[in-house]
Amino acid sequence: KCRALICWDQVGERVIEGPEMIKVSPARGVRRFGIKGKLSPHFIRPFEILDRVGEVSYRLALPPQLSHVHNVFYVSLLRGYKYHPLHVVSYPLDQIRADLSYVEEPVAILDHQDRVMRNKTIPFVKILWRNHPEQESTWETEESIRTFYPHLLS
């Protein structure tokens, strides 16, 4: 058999371990979290650890929105969570539905931008959403905002 020069022993005699010998492409099999298709906050949120799968991997309790993501994570991807009172977001209970969801409402338009896509120009607006800081504002098409929230563009 043809083998790399790093291991001349018989198959099964020795196990090569260590991070210097193992390289994994971070882009292979990457799933994006969230509806917008991006990891907007670098750390998504704290999740409960269900059990320890191996020496360096844990199974997490993920919400149904992340059902497309495998729930076993390598320990280097996890960070400890320190409670901070500003991390708790309070919503009015009368606006929360029976399925524990609520409707996002836009507050204001922060900016306008025209994006050129091959042979047409699409107008976009930057929307500030209620109960979110300005850093979490999103770019939406002007057409969709005109359809669902016409009072913002008048």
Q: What is the pLDDT of residues 106-124, one digit of tens each?
A: 999 999 999 998 899 999 9
Extended beta strands in 1-152, E state = 48-52, 57-61, 72-74, 106-117, 120-129, 138-141
Confidence of residue 12 (pLDDT cuts 50, 70, 90): very low
Smallest Cα–Cα separation from 44: which of 52, 53, 36?
A: 36
Among candidate residues 154, 147, 148, 110, the one with its CA nearest the CA of residue 129: 110
The confidence score (pLDDT) of residue 113 equals 95
Domain ranges within the chain, ordered by starting residue: 45-88, 103-152
What is the model's pTM? 0.41
Q: Which CATH class is domain 103-152?
A: mainly beta
pLDDT value of residue 89? 62
pLDDT digits 0-9 by tens, 63-107: 777 777 777 877 776 666 676 777 666 666 666 677 767 778 899
Percent of all residues in the chain with a pLDDT value above 70, rounded to a whole number: 56
Separation CA 98–CA 108 (nearest Å): 28
pLDDT at 45: 59
pLDDT at 28 over 90: no
